[in-house]
Amino acid sequence: MKRLVCMLLCLAAFGMAEAQRLTSPDGGLSLDFHLSPDGVPVYSLRYKGKTVIGESRMGFRIAPDYEFDRGFEQTDVRFSETDSVWQPVWGQYRDIRDRHKEMCVALCQPSTGWLLNIRFRLFDDGLGFRYEFPVQKDLRNFTLKEEMTEFRLTGDHKAFWLPGDYDTNEYPTTTSRLSEVASLIDSVRTEPLAVRSFTPNLAVQTPLMLKSSDGLYINVHEAALVDYPAMQLNLDDKAFCLSAHLTPDKNGAKGFMQTGSVTPWRTVIVSDDARDILASNVILNLNEPCKLEDTSWIHPVKYVGVWWEYFTGQGSTWAYTANQDIKIGETDYSKEIPNGTHGANTAHVKEYIDFAAKHGFDAVLVEGWNEGWEANFAYVKERIYSFTKPYPDFDVEELHRYAAERGVKIIMHHETTSSVSDYERQMEDAFRFMADHGYDAVKTGYVGPIIPRSEHHDGQWMVNHYLRVVKTAARYKVMVNSHEAVRPTGLCRTYPNWIAQESARGTEFESFKGNRPDHTTILPFTRLMGGPMDYTPGIFEGDLSVYGSNKARLSTTLAKQLALYVTMHSPLQMAADLYTNYEKYPDAFQFIKDVATDWDDTYILEAEPGDYVTIARKAKGKNEWYVGGITDENAREAEIDLSFLPEGKRFQATIYADGKKADWRTAPKDYVISSRKVDGKTVLKQRLAPGGGVAVSIKEL
């Protein structure tokens, strides 16, 4: 019967199996699809006549041993197009245009009777495609062995890559040719990290940024990762072919599926101008519209926190006591616990609240407020956290009252050290506790390997977990900032209370010499393609040796730290340094106080991955503009063309620039602030120091 239905479908479609072509609305991109003589689905992508993705196969292997990637016949193809505008709750643009052409190909595999649809969407700046498993008679539940999608590149492109890993994306980015990845990957893997699970074969992570020798910028990632494992990319460095490598569960299963579901979108964003990559909204456009009915409680947050003092090694600790009896196997961890001062004590938190109130910050993050931190540093699960029991010196009621009186919120912290089942058990109580005590934002944390289920951070089970947290939080009107979670894929459109994520090497790595000056010139092209990052900029004291034995040196100048508030988009921004350092440099601190976190418009002025980024943005609902320009280890002159300013008006620009001697290695704190009148005809030429930057605020006169 099943074969008959399928054959009838195929017959009905007789004559339809010829190659299909879809072009982008402006005609610049074209997508070709056909079935090979073996019935393998094959696509390719061209941009302005140049091949971006050569003929690449599609489909799946299904457990235990089904080849769902060949023997297909085409039963239908439908074309449609969309041109609409939508407004995000927060973001880089007030209005986002979704203009694309769509092609949906229906396939059936006569040998099994199984059906598969492939939906392509072509925008002017990129391609998205996904697989859809229609509800059907002969296939219901199935387990993926692998997704077979390929991205066949045309040559040995320059790549900005992280090694394939199922558990972490906190690697430094390596820039090399694809052919060099194999020889470099081992040294990258020795980077100090809390947890790692390398892919068994040569693979890299997404978002992957590529540049071809004929000047094409290509970004490969995914959109709307829901109920599916995150995609790594196998690298065949002879054929320059990338292929999907789904993150497995601990038994090697790649995904538990049911018909009636869809995969995430595979995305290829492309241009011959690097700026277009940063300006692209393809990934957001491929996500579902907002699913929260009421979003009035979601708002941008600028915050300070009891945080950097833990990293600068001044004796401030997350844990309340130095617990004396932690022995695991032969190792006695108790000796390693610093005998410091508990950071999250009521009096100290009040100092932060006072500082936040005085300088107009929305919130104070408090880490180390709750029971369970004694063994955190060793990532052991003998002690679990409580998300409702504060340490005795953290007075929740009093701090809530004190903060509320001053118009400041406290940001909750849920570090799980990946005891995720335990977190799920406590989750409802934890969010109720927050609602009862006036919290409207939480920073979650997943340091360490996943125990007890041995699920990977990027596997399907954890992908579902992160979203479960976000949805639970929404019921309690709480915004979520997840650290060490799977990298984002634009789901903040659908769940705008997922206000930021870390999911890459943040500023914390500066405290252990872990970031390079080019790091933040790459992140906008990689990690930030999927959504905002809680990068925690704003470190003014760049010489970390002032804190004692730690000789680390920040990889940027002070002016570049300011510029990051503009170049690293996030509606959640921290002023991460010790507040005593801000009190030393009140003039530079003014930029952090002023800078907006939500925008009407964004102008990508200059960009080259790994080298420099200059971005201007208009503050939401205000006639104020902010510009950030950053460079890597090389000095350069940024050209800031202000033609985005409205015509016929004059403005006051305040320029926070690197000083004459500024250099991230020798003089990070050398900065100069100047003021001048500007208008839409002004082009500012600003010298950026090695590892330097420039920040500009522009207000109407």
Q: Which active-site residues does the annotation give?
A: 508
The nearest distance, CB 310 to ligand NOJ, in angstroms, is 6
371 is a site residue for ligand NOJ (CB under 6 A): no
DSSP string, 245-289: EEPP-TTS--EEEETTEEPPEEEEEEESSHHHHHH--HHHHTSPP
Contact status: 577 vs ligand NOJ (CB under 6 A) = no
| Pair of tokens at residue 432 | 């109720």
Q: Which is nearer to Ca ion, 509 or 671 (CB)?
A: 509
Smallest separation, CB 506 to ligand NOJ (Å): 6
- What's the closest the beta carbon of residue 502 comes to Ca ion, in angstroms? 5
Q: Which residues have a Cβ under 8 Å from the Cβ of 315 and sit 6 or more positions away? A: 338, 339, 340, 341
What one-letter code names the amino acid at 428? E
Place of tokens 């000056």: 517
Query: CA-CA distance, 352 to 477, in Å (whole number)?
Result: 24
Alpha-carbon distances of 63 from 147, 257, 259, rounded to whole Å? 11, 11, 15
Q: Determine if 609 is a binding residue for ligand NOJ (CB under 6 A).
A: no
CB of 527 to ligand NOJ, least distance (A): 14
Q: Which of residues 483-502 bind Ca ion (CB under 5 A)?
A: 483
Under the binding rule (CB under 6 A), the answer on residue 415 touching ligand NOJ is yes
Q: Which of 364, 447, 491, 596 is close enough to bind ligand NOJ by CB under 6 A?
A: 447
Residues contacting residue 256 through CB under 8 Å, at least 6 positions apart = 141, 143, 144, 460
Q: Which does 367 bind (CB under 5 to 8 A by kind): Ca ion, ligand NOJ, none?
A: ligand NOJ
Q: Which is nearer to Ca ion, 280 or 501 (CB)?
A: 501
Residue 483 binds ligand NOJ (CB under 6 A):
yes
Is the CB of residue 437 less than 8 Å from the CB of residue 397?
yes
Distance of closest approach, residue 445 Cβ to ligand NOJ, in angstroms: 4
Residue 167: which of Ca ion, ligand NOJ, none does it interact with, CB under 5 to 8 A by kind?
Answer: none
Distance CA 573, CA 215 (A): 34
Nearer to ligand NOJ, 72 or 498 (CB): 498
Say which entry of Ca ion, ligand NOJ, none residue 374 contacts (CB below 5 to 8 A, set by partner kind).
none
Q: Is 249 in the site for ligand NOJ (CB under 6 A)?
A: no
Q: Which residues pair with residue 256 across a beta bridge? A: 143
Interface with ligand NOJ includes 372 (CB under 6 A)?
A: no
The strand pair at 693-700 and 651-658 is best described as antiparallel
Nearest to 221 by CA among 165, 251, 172, 265: 265
Q: Which does 445 bind (CB under 5 to 8 A by kind): ligand NOJ, Ca ion, none?
A: ligand NOJ
Site for Ca ion in 424-483 (CB under 5 A): 483
The one of Ca ion, ligand NOJ, none whose footprint includes residue 282, by CB under 5 to 8 A per kind, is none
Report whether the peptide linkage leading into residue 338 is cis, meaning its omega lies within 30 degrees of zero.
Answer: no
Under DSSP, the state recorded for 461 is H
Name the closest residue to Ca ion (Cβ).
483
**Which residues lie closer than 8 Å to 383 by C-beta, 6 or more apart?**
326, 372, 374, 375
Name the token pair of 623: 């006639």
Whichever of 145 and 483 has its CB closer to Ca ion, that residue is 483
670 lines the binding site for ligand NOJ (CB under 6 A): no
Q: Is 384 left (phi over 0), alpha (psi -120 to 50) or beta?
A: beta
Q: Which is nearer to Ca ion, 359 or 483 (CB)?
A: 483
Q: H helices of 445-550, where?
A: 460-475, 519-522
- Binding string to ligand NOJ for residues 274 to 313, with x set by CB under 6 A, is what? ---------------------------------x------
Given the complex with Ca ion, which of 348 and 483 has the nearer CB atom?
483
What's CA 422's distance to the chain center, in Å? Answer: 25
367 part of the interface to ligand NOJ, by CB under 6 A: yes
Q: Which region among 8-16, 103-111, 486-494, 500-508 touches ligand NOJ (by CB under 6 A)? A: 500-508
Q: What are phi and psi of 473, to 5 degrees?
A: -55, -40
What is the token pair recorded at 36? 């090979």
By C-beta, is 93 or 307 nearer to ligand NOJ? 307
Three-state secondary structure string covering 355-397: HHHHHCCCEEEECCCECCHHHHHHCCCCCCCCCCCECCCCCHH
Task: Indicate whether 538 belongs to the interface with ligand NOJ (CB under 6 A).
Answer: no
Site for Ca ion (CB under 5 A): how many residues? 1
Query: Of the candidates 69, 502, 541, 658, which one interacts with ligand NOJ according to CB under 6 A?
Result: 502
By CB under 6 A, residue 128 contacts ligand NOJ: no
Smallest distance from ligand NOJ to CB 604, Å: 28
Q: Which is nearer to ligand NOJ, 310 or 656 (CB)?
A: 310
Which residue lies nearer to Ca ion by CB, 437 or 483? 483
CB 642 within 8 A of CB 698: yes
Smallest gap from residue 691 Cβ to ligand NOJ (A): 23
Residues 6+ apart with CB under 8 A from 399: 346, 349, 350, 353, 410
Site track for ligand NOJ across 673-692, x = CB under 6 A: --------------------
**How many angstroms separate the CA atoms of 70 and 431, rounded?**
48
**Does residue 664 contact residue 556 with C-beta atoms inside 8 Å?**
yes
At how many degrees (to 10) do helices 396-405 and 346-359 cross?
Answer: 20
Q: Does 488 bind ligand NOJ (CB under 6 A)?
A: no
448 lines the binding site for ligand NOJ (CB under 6 A): no
Number of residues lying near ligand NOJ (CB under 6 A): 9
Identity of the residue, 440 or 502, whose beta carbon is nearer to ligand NOJ in the bound complex: 502
Nearest residue to ligand NOJ, by Cβ distance, number only: 415
The answer to whether 52 and 46 are in contact (CB under 8 A) is: yes
CB of 504 to Ca ion, least distance (A): 9
Site string for ligand NOJ, 41-80 (x = CB under 6 A): ----------------------------------------
Establish if 125 lies at the interface with ligand NOJ (CB under 6 A): no
Q: Which of 508, 510, 577, 598 binds ligand NOJ (CB under 6 A)?
A: 508
- From the CB of 445, what's the least distance to Ca ion, in Å? 7
Query: Shortest approach of ligand NOJ to residue 502 CB, angstroms?
Result: 5
Please say which residue, 506 or 532, places its beta carbon nearer to ligand NOJ: 506
Q: How far is the CB of 41 from ligand NOJ (least distance, A)?
A: 40
Residue 384 CA: distances (Å) to CA of 339, 375, 445, 548? 21, 9, 14, 32
Radius of gyration of the chain (CA): 26
Among Ca ion, ligand NOJ, none, residue 415 binds (CB under 5-8 Å by kind):
ligand NOJ
Q: What share of the chain is helix, strand, coil (3-state, %, to 5)?
A: 20, 35, 45
**How many angstroms from the chain centroid is the CA of residue 587?**
31
Nearest 5°: phi and psi at 505? -70, 110
Among Ca ion, ligand NOJ, none, partner that 441 touches (CB below 5 to 8 angstroms by kind)? none
Decide if residue 195 touches ligand NOJ (CB under 6 A): no
In this chain, which of 41, 264, 445, 542 binds ligand NOJ, going by CB under 6 A? 445
Which parts of this chain interact with Ca ion (CB under 5 A)?
483
Which parts of this chain interact with ligand NOJ (CB under 6 A)?
307, 367, 415, 445, 447, 483, 502, 506, 508
